[in-house]
Amino acid sequence: MLQATPLAEGWTLRHGSDTLPAAVPGCVHTDLLTAGVIPDPFLGRDETEVAWVGRRDWTYERELPAVDGHEQIDLVFDGLDTVAEILLDGELLGRTRNMHRSYRFDVTGLGGRLAVRFVSAYAEAEAVRGKLGERPAAYTEPYQYLRKMACSFGWDWGPTLVTAGIWRPVRLERWSTARIARVRPLVTVEDGRGRVELQVEVERSRVEAALAVEATVGGVRARAEIDGTRGVVRLSVPDVRLWWPRGYGEQPLYDIELTLLHDERPLDVWRRRIGFRTVELDRRLDAHGSGFTFVVNGERLFARGVNWIPDDVFPSRITRERYRERLRQATDAGVDLVRVWGGGIYESEDFYDACDELGLLVWQDFPFACAAYPEEQPLRGEVEAEARENVVRLMPHPSLVLWNGNNENLWGFRDWGWEERLAQDSWGEGYYLGVLPRVVAELDPTRPYAAGSPWSGSWEHHPNDPAHGTHHSWEVWNREDYAAYRADVPRFVAEFGWQAPPAWATLRRALPGEELGPDSPGMLHHQKADDGNGKLRRGLERHFAFPEGDFDRWHYLTQVNQARAVAAGIEHWRSHWPVCAGTVVWQLNDCWPVTSWAAIDGDGREKPLYHELRRLYADRLLTLQVRDQGLVLTAVNQSAEVWSGTVTLRRMSVEGVVVGTANVAVTAGRRSVADVDVPRELEPAGPKEFLVADADGLRALHFPAPDRDIPYPRPEFDVAPVPGGIEVTARTLVRDLLLQADRLDPAARADRGLVTLLPGEHVTIGVRGWEPRGDQDAAAAARSALYCMGPSR
């Protein structure tokens, strides 16, 4: 039977004459941090102090024990970052140049000093660029010249920390006669029966041995002989329970086991969990263009999505528990789709296991982003090898519903001046429209493939045409007011977003001792977007008087503006289902403490946007939309039940006087949207009035003027501690009340974000992680952490 021995202990990191203990899996930066050689690059401006690390060569070493008792001994690396030589007692075992692949070396009968020598990723990238020629990119760092996590070279939300190291586990595998080299599971559903076809490949040490494989799933067992090095096992499971996305049903998972046999003696075992479901991508032409609608088990979905970046710039630090916590935060916000963005990595099994269990659909980009990628060797062979490995590795996961060729590269070719600069040089089109769809069609025909995001489906339309396929909406953040989201109805919005700084406690930890200001040195260093602060300011000034010299107010208002901007987009686009079939917010998470588009900051704290997503992505959403015919009340019902009820409309003054009321009936069928015209006499007149719509515990608000023009009364409210939190009772209109719980204690979390109260209304805000000190007035402390619109209290 194959035996595996982890090689996690006993490693050292050497550079020149210096030797340090090394953690494996890990990377050079984390080892240097542990040893106290470098400062924490996440704090202050220390990122710049460690830039030298990515420019050096590094060597990991340990003793490799000589073992016997088996015919074959393999040294297996699940991940090496990135360009390395592997030597045993000075003899070369092999070379690597791809972070996204695993590697296997025959060390039968060998032992001695094992060394993994990493060449600087910069040196490799610059050598490839010198050989193949310059290619344009959105950023100046040379990330497109090697197969490595692109965002380790920095991004408009990420630090430049170019890593090296043994970033995934390494082990010795000992086996005799044969081992399982690859299992490719094709899982389908037909007439209520689950069909599983296991395409098996084996590696032999004895060619003459008669081999068989036996598989079990759902109480069904099947057997097949191995012909040479290949075999196929087919199983048919009756009455399977379907795997559904969260909100549509349950997520039953089936254990599948395949055993390789020789004379009925087990040689190796492959185990996974699978789920039975069907997935299609409806891209048919219609009266509005060409769609992009996910269909799971025959059910058409509006995808409530978020973009996912690596949760740490040092991915080896991301534990199973951290993946689960972050993805649980996503599901708690109503998310049902996570797009693994192309400037990152193929995530670990822990990520996809959690998505399987939580019912999160996974859209998987191949790792290409925002650059023209050469298609010549040595890159071309690496691209196909990594694609083949990872397609097969991730196939068992029912959560995986889409393979996507790249992020923004087809768009970049057309709009970012690449076409002229490239002339006839290769730039990646052959990957996205050739290599990758061929690999997916050959290995995983059960899932759809898209050439890129954005992509209109062909060169007949502009790559980012909102009427065709996927659309990225970045002109709004870059140049316009967020009201411009309502100007069109894309078929699927795969990226859009608005920036805000991280939580207060996150800033205080990341910028110790700094007097915080929007343009203070540390804040500027932790703002990586081009003119990011300028865009934040212009975005604020369209709605608010800019709070010069008041950082606390700036911090609050930028958080409010982020939540309102994303709400403007999602409410509009959801109200146009089924023409628009999904929104994927940029972005769920951060990889360090930074001002960014994330809903959850780099320390894992939820911004107000996160809590707003819980409302926006709920099965039922009530929204007021301005249409050509006037103000429209829209009931969005993504639940499986008909939503019928009465909506109470109140036209009110900001002083709290009810000017007019009406009750209107609304009925939205299952998975549908219903519109009701608001009576003209209830439409607010000028900045002193607003409209409130209430139904079944849901509320929609419409203020017809920007906040800077609204004569808010001085907010008055009472605060009282209650078990597990505080209660706030309004005596006036209190708009966008926010408890920044982390100001009370860095460990504190509030269970809600922005809330608007009418006079006489109250809300209970749950707070965990905060206990007032014995001499502390809890109500006064909580009041100090509460912010809202209107003149200062």
Reported confidence tier of residue 669, pLDDT bands at 50, 70, 90: very high
Are 598 and 687 found together in one domain?
A: no
Whether the pLDDT of residue 629 is over 90: the answer is no
> Which are the contacts of 487, defined by CB distance < 8 A and separation ≥ 6?
none
* Look-up of token digits 């650059």: 371
Q: 674's torsion region: left (phi>0), alpha (psi -120 to 50) or beta?
A: beta
Q: Per-residue pLDDT tens for 237-284? A: 999 999 999 999 999 999 999 999 999 999 999 999 999 999 999 999
User: Residue 113 has which token pair?
Assistant: 């000093």
pLDDT of residue 67: 84
* Look-up of token digits 């605060």: 719
Are 48 and 196 found together in one domain?
A: no
Whether the pLDDT of residue 131 is over 80: the answer is yes
Give yes or no: 408 in active site. Answer: yes
Are 345 and 370 found together in one domain?
A: yes
Q: Per-residue pLDDT tens for 153-174? A: 999 999 999 999 999 999 999 9
Distance, CA of 133 to CA of 123 (rounded, Å): 15
Q: Which of 579, 598, 618 is the endpoint of a domain? A: 618
Are 491 and 591 found together in one domain?
A: yes
Q: How many structural domains comprise the chain?
A: 5
The mean per-residue pLDDT over the stretch 539-552 comes to: 96
Q: Determine whether 697 is exposed, middle or buried from the number of CB atoms within 10 Å of its CB (0-12, 13-18, 19+).
A: exposed
Phi, psi of 563 (to 5 degrees): -65, -40
Are 183 and 241 found together in one domain?
A: yes
Q: Helix 551-574 vs helix 532-541: angle between axes, to the nearest 10 degrees?
A: 80
Q: Per-residue pLDDT tens for 11-21? A: 999 988 889 99
* Look-up of token digits 């007149």: 685
Distance, CA of 678 to CA of 570 (rounded, Å): 21
Q: What is the CATH number of the domain that holds 661?
A: 2.60.40.10
Whether the pLDDT of residue 773 is over 90: the answer is no
C-alpha count within 13 angstroms, C-beta hemisphere, residue 184: 19
Q: Choosing from 408, 495, 571, 606, which is the catalytic residue?
A: 408
Residue type, 138: A
End-to-end CA distance of the chain: 73
User: Residue 631 has which token pair?
Assistant: 């103000």
Distance, CA of 717 to CA of 756 (rounded, Å): 12
Percent of residues, the chain, with pLDDT higher than 90: 97
Q: Per-residue pLDDT tens for 321-340? A: 999 999 999 999 999 999 99
Percent of residues, the chain, with pLDDT higher than 70: 99
428 within domain boundaries: yes
> Which are the contacts of 267, defined by CB distance < 8 A and separation ≥ 6?
1, 2, 175, 176, 177, 178, 179, 211, 260, 261
The mean per-residue pLDDT over the stretch 90-114 comes to: 97
Reported confidence tier of residue 792, pLDDT bands at 50, 70, 90: low
Reported confidence tier of residue 793, pLDDT bands at 50, 70, 90: very low
Q: What is the CATH number of the domain that holds 147?
A: 2.60.120.260
Q: Which of 618, 643, 671 is the endpoint of a domain? A: 618
Are 423 and 518 found together in one domain?
A: yes
pTM value?
0.97
Are 134 and 212 found together in one domain?
A: no
509 within domain boundaries: yes
pLDDT of residue 474: 98
- Owning domain of residue 68: 3-172
Distance, CA of 212 to CA of 195 (rounded, Å): 20
Are 76 and 114 found together in one domain?
A: yes
Are 668 and 750 found together in one domain?
A: no
- Three-state DSSP state, 30: helix
- The answer to whether 310 touches 278, Cβ cutoff 8 Å, is no
Distances, alpha carbon 49 to alpha carbons 54, 153, 155, 312, 497, in Å: 11, 15, 18, 19, 31
651 within domain boundaries: yes
pLDDT of residue 597: 98
Are 604 and 630 found together in one domain?
A: no
- Which residues lie across from 698 on neighbouring strands? 695
288 within domain boundaries: no
279 within domain boundaries: no
> Which are the contacts of 36, defined by CB distance < 8 A and separation ≥ 6?
none
- The answer to whether 497 touches 597, Cβ cutoff 8 Å, is yes
Distances, alpha carbon 275 to alpha carbons 223, 354, 509, 713, in Å: 21, 13, 42, 56
Q: What is the CATH number of the domain that holds 354?
A: 3.20.20.80
- The mean of the pLDDT values for the chain is 97
Higher per-residue confidence, 432 vs 69:
432
460 within domain boundaries: no
Reported confidence tier of residue 775, pLDDT bands at 50, 70, 90: low
Are 14 and 104 found together in one domain?
A: yes
725 within domain boundaries: yes
106 within domain boundaries: yes
Q: Per-residue pLDDT tens for 113-125? A: 999 999 999 999 9
Q: What is the CATH number of the domain that holds 779?
A: 2.60.40
CA diameter of the chain: 90
Are 672 and 721 found together in one domain?
A: no
Q: Which of 591, 618, 645 is the endpoint of a domain? A: 618
